[in-house]
Structure 1
Amino acid sequence: MIPTLTGTVAEDALGRVLMHEHVFVLNAELMINYPAMFPEDAMVERAVTVLKEVQATGIDTYVDLSVMGTGRNVPVLHRIAEQVDLKILLATGWYTYHEAPVFAQLNGPGRLFDGPDPLAEMFIQDIRHGIGQTGVRAAVLKCSADKYGMTDGVMNVMQAVADAHLETEAPIFTHSDPGNGTGLAQQDYFESRGVDLTGVVVGHCGDTDDLDVLRRIADRGSVLGMDRFGLESRLPYEARVEAVVRMCALGYADRMVISTDSSVFSMNFPDAHRRDHLPLWDARSVMPRVVADLRAGGVGEDDIDQMMQHNPARILGSASRREDA
């Protein structure tokens, strides 16, 4: 069974899944020191409205990949989940492009204070027993690498993610930058640790329409996160659609998932900018716009079901199937 914010669900009940989204992208220190920046009651109401609209388009499950470093707040998310029928899954990990948190730099194997890796211990706790005292278990692991490449801090987190995966078998989702090859580097590291790459979703592969890059990642078994539809500043919408159409024609539908990486509210992106410059960067656009345009480009229903339902069920249910074996 797969853990959600409000209980567990069987993999065959996931339905259509958005595999890389966010309810909120926040900054915990800003929330503590400047609470007016996040009026909780109003934001919960806003999120409930948006997520009901997401579900009304035909989406059944929403994977929220906000982790520590992006303001994951389980009690607030639980308030939202109780008011919607959408199944919401959570992640554990730490989001950084450069440095790991100081406590993780100082504590752990071979560090100033030698001992167990505190990040790995947290991630395993989140998956096995629940996040903090909430009782809500994380369903997946998350790590990031971007313009700075595979820094010491990025590797610190990736090591902990690999340790937690090998202990729990929870699937791994990444943030990568196809422009500098971090997705391939993530695969290299995880493979060196004995991770089965078929359980790794390499995020933001949809930021490129270079099919050679996409095929190099997919041919190693990982799933391509074609997950930023509408983020025009990274790649135009039409190019994203065409890349998925062409990859489906080449037989890669079984190694792609569709999403937007958008959020109901983000402290990083002003609402006005998103409204004026990124109107399609919205989870509510996937079924009525993205999927419709994929169909118009020649992608068949079997491939759409593969990307929206079967691939997510296979990935998200992998750990629970092993637990039940």
Structure 2
Amino acid sequence: MTVRGPVPVSQLGRALTHEHIVTDFLGAARWAGPRYDLEAAVTTVRPHLEALKERGVSALFECTPQYIGRGVRLLRQLAEATGVHLVTNTGYYGAAGYKYIPQHAYEESAEELAERWLREWREGIDGTGIRPGFIKLGTDRGALSPLHEKLLRAAARVHRRTGLTICGHTGDGVAAMDQLRILASEEVAPEAFVWVHAQNGTDADRIEAARRGAWISLDGYSLAPGVPERYLEALLALKSAGCWSRVLVSHDDGWAVEGESPRQAPLRLFGNGNPQPYRSLFERLLPDLRKAGCTEADLDQLLRANPARAFGIRVRKLHANST
């Protein structure tokens, strides 16, 4: 489900599954909507999406949730201008000490929160008619707190009614395994879950989660010292373990709103070690994988087949005979 409507998974093409367009770190208590000039933001971002399309990528999953800068009007305008399939989300980001959680999330039940997110699926986001294509959550390290657990249970109930994939920003392997445990208690299969930022876990964590059926998202790739080597080792370990069909890769690149002025704030690139957004996988990781023996079919699976399977909309219950 893209910001311009549904697209058959066979037509999605190569995809980056964890990127951002514009994020705003002001916090839920103060955020009241996009603080940038829409046309200026289009002018800033558009050339980078067009360059991405020239590199053979036709889809980008935009992982900025509500209350941390989600701006679906900007996404739709960029999608119309570039032809890139952009996919937005529903859900709340509970990491960073709950800074991006609205007050009502503390007070409402999991079922009430699920109903909020279901309305976005049924009616569209903020009166635009744009529907989310996945669910985005965020947790810190370690076992889930009661609030994190409630958000995850809400996401599980949305999944069971919509088939939307659940993407969980996750601090470490302990949190990832706890999320799989809670999803199982809600009868949601691991195949419905993307372990976002799985680079924060160990090879053993990643292989175990993949063998259970979860999607392993190595999505902070950059040219910062040591990062290319670490990602290459993690990917080859997953491949050697027979888990290549469960792996996703991305940069976590994008822009952020500068400062704390109420409106018309400038944009800055994330300072994550990439001089240009959405490029480093193609300039360094893919050549490194080829040198390590990966075939073009392997790379196509990583960028085309795996994203299509991970984000195709279908209900994935824990027991196959209950689907």
The interval holding the TM-score normalised by the smaller chain is 0.7 to 0.9
Question: Does the Cα contact within 8 Å between 1:54 and 1:284 map onto a contact in 2?
Answer: yes
- Are the structure 2 counterparts of residues 51 and 157 from structure 1 closer, same or farther at C-alpha, using a change threshold of 3 Å? same
- Are the structure 2 counterparts of residues 78 and 30 from structure 1 closer, same or farther at C-alpha, using a change threshold of 3 Å? farther
SS at match of 1:303: helix
C-alpha displacement of 1:133:
1.0
Distance across 1 between alignment mates of 2:275 and 2:221: 7
Question: Does the Cα contact within 8 Å between 2:191 and 2:316 map onto a contact in 1?
Answer: no
Distance across 1 between alignment mates of 2:34 and 2:130: 27
Deviations 1:165-207 (A, max 9, x none): 11112111110122x6111111111111100111211111123
Question: Does the Cα contact within 8 Å between 1:44 and 1:76 map onto a contact in 2?
Answer: yes
Query: Is 1:125 aligned with 2:119?
Result: yes
Question: Does the Cα contact within 8 Å between 1:172 and 1:200 map onto a contact in 2?
Answer: yes
> Taking structure 1 as the reference length, what is the TM-score of the superposition?
0.85
Pick one of 8, 18, 21 that aligns with 1:20.
18
C-alpha displacement of 1:73:
1.3
Query: Is 1:249 aligned with 2:240?
Result: yes
- Structure 1 unaligned residues grouped into runs of 5+: 110-115
SS at match of 1:4: coil
- Are the structure 2 counterparts of residues 31 and 145 from structure 1 closer, same or farther at C-alpha, using a change threshold of 3 Å? closer
Pick one of 58, 62, 65 that aligns with 1:64.
62
SS at match of 2:178: helix
Provide the residue aligned with 1:211 in structure 2. Answer: 203
Provide the residue aligned with 1:134 in structure 2. Answer: 128
Alignment of 1:75-224 (within 5 A): 75-97=73-95, 98-99=97-98, 100-108=101-109, 117=112, 119-147=113-141, 149-178=143-172, 181-208=174-201, 210-224=202-216
Deviations 1:207-255 (A, max 9, x none): 34x321111111111010011101748x722111121022112211101
SS at match of 1:19: strand
C-alpha displacement of 1:29:
6.8
- Are the structure 2 counterparts of residues 280 and 297 from structure 1 closer, same or farther at C-alpha, using a change threshold of 3 Å? farther
Question: Does the Cα contact within 8 Å between 1:50 and 1:264 map onto a contact in 2?
Answer: no
C-alpha displacement of 1:129:
3.0
SS at match of 2:77: helix
C-alpha displacement of 1:79:
1.9
- Are the structure 2 counterparts of residues 259 and 60 from structure 1 closer, same or farther at C-alpha, using a change threshold of 3 Å? same
Distance across 2 between alignment mates of 1:147 and 1:195: 22
Question: Does the Cα contact within 8 Å between 1:46 and 1:264 map onto a contact in 2?
Answer: no
AA aligned opposite 1:103:
H
Pick one of 262, 269, 282 that aligns with 1:287.
282
Distance across 2 between alignment mates of 1:121 and 1:33: 21
Provide the residue aligned with 2:263 in structure 1. Answer: none
- Are the structure 2 counterparts of residues 130 and 320 from structure 1 closer, same or farther at C-alpha, using a change threshold of 3 Å? farther
C-alpha displacement of 1:280:
5.8
C-alpha displacement of 1:51:
1.1
AA aligned opposite 2:5:
G
AA aligned opposite 2:102:
P
C-alpha displacement of 1:308:
1.0
Pick one of 287, 305, 309 that aligns with 1:310.
305
CA RMSD of aligned residues (A): 2.7
- Are the structure 2 counterparts of residues 265 and 308 from structure 1 closer, same or farther at C-alpha, using a change threshold of 3 Å? same
C-alpha displacement of 1:148:
6.5
The size of the alignment, in residue pairs, is 306
Question: Does the Cα contact within 8 Å between 2:17 and 2:61 map onto a contact in 1?
Answer: yes
SS at match of 1:257: strand
Distance across 2 between alignment mates of 1:289 and 1:263: 18
SS at match of 2:314: helix
SS at match of 1:133: coil
Identity of matched residues, %:
25
SS at match of 1:294: helix
C-alpha displacement of 1:127:
2.1
Distance across 1 between alignment mates of 2:188 and 2:227: 33
